[in-house]
Amino acid sequence: MFVCTTAFAQHGVKGKIVDAGTGESLVGVNVTVKNESSVGTISDLDGNYSLVVSKTATLVFSYIGYISQEIPVGEKNMINVSLVEDSKTLSEVVVIGYGTMKKSDLTGSVVKADLNVMKDSPNTSIMQSLHGTVAGLQIGQTNSAGEDPSIGVRGQTTINGSTSPLIILDGIIYGGRISDINPSDIESIDILKDASSKAVYGAKAANGVLMITSKKGKRAQKPKISYSGSWAFSNPTVDYRPLNREEWMQKVRDIEYESAYTKESGYLVPNPDWDFSKSQLNVQQLDGIENGTDFNWWDEAMQTGHLFTNMVNINGGSEHVSYFLSGSWTNQRGVVKNDKYKRTTFRANIDVQATSWLKVGTNTFFSVLDYSGESPNMNALIRMPAVVTPKDADGEWITNPNGTLTMNPFLEYMVENSDKRHQINTTVYGLVSIPWIKGLTYRLNYNYTLDAKNLYNYSRYEASQQGEASKQHDNSSVWLLDNIVNYTNSFGKHAINATFVYGASRQAYDNTLAKGQQYTSTVTGYNDLGQAIIQTIRSSAYKESNLYQMLRTSYNYDSKYLLTATLRRDGFSGFAENHKFGLFPSVGLGWVLSREAFLSEAEFMDNLKLRASFGVTGNQTSRYSSLAKVELNAGSKYVFGDGASTSIGSTVMRMSNKDLKWETTAEYNVGIDFSFFKERLTGSIDFYRATTKNLLWDVIIPTMTGFSSVRSNVGKLQNTGLEIVLGGTPVKTKDFQWNVRLNFSTNKNKVVSLLGQDTDGDGKEDDLVASGLFIGESLGTIYDYEVEGIWQLADKENGTIMKGFYPGTYKIKDQNGDGEITAGEDRVILGHKEPAYMMGISNDFSYKGFELRFFINTIQGGKNGYRSKIAKPDYIGKSIGNAENLSWLTAYDYWSPRNPNAKFATAWLSPTVDTNRMQNRSFVRLQDVSLSYNFDQRWTKKLGVSNLRLFISGQNLLTFTGWDGWDPEAGIGFTTDSYPVMRTYAFGIDLTF
């Protein structure tokens, strides 16, 4: 009777599950009966499901990234469900190294980058899109096509070691360029900043860790095809240019002012008896002046830059398989002609649930890069005055148009050049869920990376215009194997997660260069080096390996009290035999105050957590640096036997150090995370201090040993900083929302000790002045002469000008008042290169389908920080006919009798002691602005499109600064070989089918 009654109470339920926002069918939604885990199903490709259950049952609809719903069955036979996306859930999970963790359970300083902040910015690298948006993450400016930006995390913790953060791509250490990765393939980037979080990577983690995760497909989802395309054009952010004809001729008069102007007028009235033929100009320059030549070398070398990108991806899956396939093509052209970059990428991320306990998959991508083409030589171009031209009357290139040793800058532009690079990066894995132990898994990762570079070059103007060709092949390969055991379980209010890793990696590199000079035929170019009269070849190779083990344990009691402890052991082949391995421990504690009873009535408080951590990370030396180095030396020759020919011998070039060991950084971090008013106000504050000891340094030793230096461990360096992140939603209505986010960071480093020597007996440790290192000062200390003006004509006339100086040269302050300028007595600390603080502010406005974003970035140096030298043009000598005669930029405000209050000194007079003026690089920049429109899906579905979005954007639109030069952030002043930073405008489209 009981069985019959039960059967009678059950009936069928069916329905359709869709996204509440888009109305699109959701595939693979879990439909289960509450408290009955054995009963359930998943939605099919159209979002439909059906199930036979009891009328008293409650159905639970759950899907990753959506808020779960519970619906009682009762008498209903049809239950349709609209699931609401849970953005909070998506942002709570962060990648922490060999696994993931809820943000609420973290004890360390880990931040998930907001990839939406500048997603419409025209960048070739995802890191450029994060520029200034993450506290403690420093991303440098770029000014050439395909360039990888510099990356730093929390300042500098080393003097001679690597300063780059460790890159982890899909759980695997990645040694390639981030710019080689298609930005649209990236799902998330998490930055591990403190020792507690980054200690899992021990040896290479002293400079922070970037966890990059690529996109994955979804099981039981019908295929989705997405396309994103954009076009951008760019020009320099500033309008500096070399002097034109009239400006250059005026510069010549200023150089020759003692004869070009009358002395009686104070060299202000032109001398009627002087003309350019009486100057030091050479024949080419004089002819150009007489012929009225006014050639614009700058315009000839420059162009409007562009960036064109196309990205397509397909993702989906069946019940047991998920896939994400993508391809992209990028074509970038810089503002300097022939500064080109092309990138083609392919990716396949595939996961297969082979059995209930085994999952296998692969993450593989392939990139093809093309940097072919040589740009005009900027160093030579800036030296060409407007009165000479690059071609003669017959249209042939002139080798030395300025009549000097400087070659025509466009000869490099005319070479045959092929620079192509390929990278394949593949990871295969297997994940086993141990059936008889709940929560225990084993994962095996194998990664292989191959980088190949082929650089071919031919120029008929090299080798004294007899032609030179070369072919260079570089190959770098890395294999890595990780064994990862993880155990996760909970017991009442107790939760534990333990991870053990045992792994190894090896890197190999080889290089071959073949070169030929003096060709009788230019037909074959670099394709037949055998035609060269002079042929040379050289090659090199190396190998290095790492071995590592790691154990991490996380404990959680009632989601209130958190503990994470890690121990990593690293070995590297480059260290001495007795110090190849290093231990790197860490511990982190967390206390979630908002879950305590005494704060339970604070309804405005969503979350309040305190964190504290301490740990040790490492920085490894370069390969072979602990070993003696022996090289073939043409200067060491031997004769073996009477009458034998001379043989080249070998020389010991470097001293070994059997005690060379790991550079280690010990760091503590205290922080607080908070969220108030239903997440209308969120933020975090972190304070940290890191101390690095056993610094890797080439110590100078007496030359009587036969060597000049030896790689050693010395000194101590301290790094301190504060980071503040605030986010808020000031306005939120049905149709309009305003989100604002601010990040602020400050960092200071200090040299605590160096060699420990006190040679002058003053009780203080010696500074390393020649290396620019000072006890108690930062690594970026600027030690130089102090400029207090420019010597004037009146100083020469009244005899007050210091010996060895001339009118128009910098007036250097005599610090000790002895009447002369000396390096030992008159140089002082003028400031520091490091900034006082960095700050970024982003604002997002959304109204119905419109979204407006703008981001302001600023770096401030304070009184004496963020300073750099503004180098004047190279000394050209007063006898300009025999010198290079630089054609200076219009921005260079140089001294002359008619311009006595100039910013900068002359460049034609060389005083006994010379220096450069210092400037503050502080700036405020409107870095990114974008406006987009998402079309209503009720309209796009009629076109067979599930999503359609158009956008326009601008980058580096406005910069407010007192810096003279190309760009304050890049530190580029008037250097002759640099490219300007670009201002860019873009528009694009996003489509999903």
Q: Let me know: does 970 contact 143? Beta carbons within 8 Å.
A: yes
Alpha helices in 373-472 (DSSP H): 378-381, 410-413, 462-465
Cα distance between residue 719 and residue 154, in whole Å: 8
Over residues 181-210, the mean pLDDT reads 86
| Beta strand spans in 265-339 (E) | 305-317, 321-333
Strands 440-459, 468-491: pairing is antiparallel
Contacts of 848 (CB under 8 A, 6+ apart): 735
**Local structure of residue 183 (DSSP, 8 states):** G
Label residue 177 exposed, middle or buried (CB < 10 Å: 0-12, 13-18, 19+): middle
Return the sign of the alpha-carbon dihedral for residues 251, 252, 253, 254: positive
Query: How high is the pLDDT of residue 3?
Result: 39
SS3 assignment, position 493: coil
CB count in 10 Å sphere of residue 890 = 12
DSSP string, 618-653: EE---TTTTS-EEEEEEEEEEE-STTPPEEEEEEEE
Contacts of 116 (CB under 8 A, 6+ apart): none
pLDDT digits (tens, 9 = 90+) for 697-754: 777 777 776 676 777 778 899 999 999 999 999 988 888 999 999 999 999 999 998 8
Cα distance between residue 74 and residue 54, in whole Å: 8
Over residues 74-82, the mean pLDDT reads 87
Highest average pLDDT, of 487-491, 581-585, 686-690, 801-805, comes from 686-690
Strands 93-95, 81-83: pairing is unpaired
Q: Which one-letter amino acid corresponds to residue 576? A: A
Question: C-alpha 377: how far from its chain's center?
Answer: 26
Residue 526: left if φ>0, alpha if ψ -120 to 50, beta else—which one? Answer: alpha
Q: Which one-letter amino acid corresponds to residue 695? A: L
Between 55-69, 141-155, 339-353, 586-600, the lowest mean confidence (pLDDT) is in 55-69
**Local structure of residue 133 (DSSP, 8 states):** T
Statement: residue 801 has pLDDT above 70: yes
pLDDT digits (tens, 9 = 90+) for 163-182: 788 899 998 989 888 888 99
Of the candidates 340, 258, 256, 264, the residue with the CA atom closest to the CA atom of residue 303: 340
Q: Let me know: does 55 contact 11? Beta carbons within 8 Å.
A: yes
Over residues 652-678, the mean pLDDT reads 83
Q: From residue 171, how far is each of 175, 198, 265, 432, 958 by CA, in Å? A: 13, 13, 75, 17, 39
> What are the backbone dihedrals phi and psi of residue 799, each rounded to the nearest 5 degrees, phi first?
75, 15
pLDDT digits (tens, 9 = 90+) for 472-529: 999 999 999 999 999 988 888 898 999 999 999 999 999 999 998 888 877 888 888 8
Strand-pairing partners, residue 740, are 728, 843
Statement: residue 639 has pLDDT above 80: no
pLDDT digits (tens, 9 = 90+) for 601-633: 777 888 899 999 999 988 777 777 667 677 766
Query: How high is the pLDDT of residue 1?
Result: 34
Cα distance between residue 566 and residue 588, in whole Å: 9
Query: How high is the pLDDT of residue 899?
Result: 93
Taken as a whole, the chain contains a residue count of: 993
Q: Which one-letter amino acid corresponds to residue 362? A: T
Please state, rounded to an integer, the average pLDDT across all residues of the chain.
86
Q: Which residue has the higher pLDDT, 602 or 314?
A: 314
Cα distance between residue 533 and residue 49, in whole Å: 78
Q: Let me know: does 420 contact 471? Beta carbons within 8 Å.
A: no
Number of DSSP helices (H) and strands (E) in the chain, helices first: 13, 46
All structural domains of the chain: 11-85 (2.60.40.1120), 89-218 (2.170.130.10)
**Local structure of residue 131 (DSSP, 8 states):** T
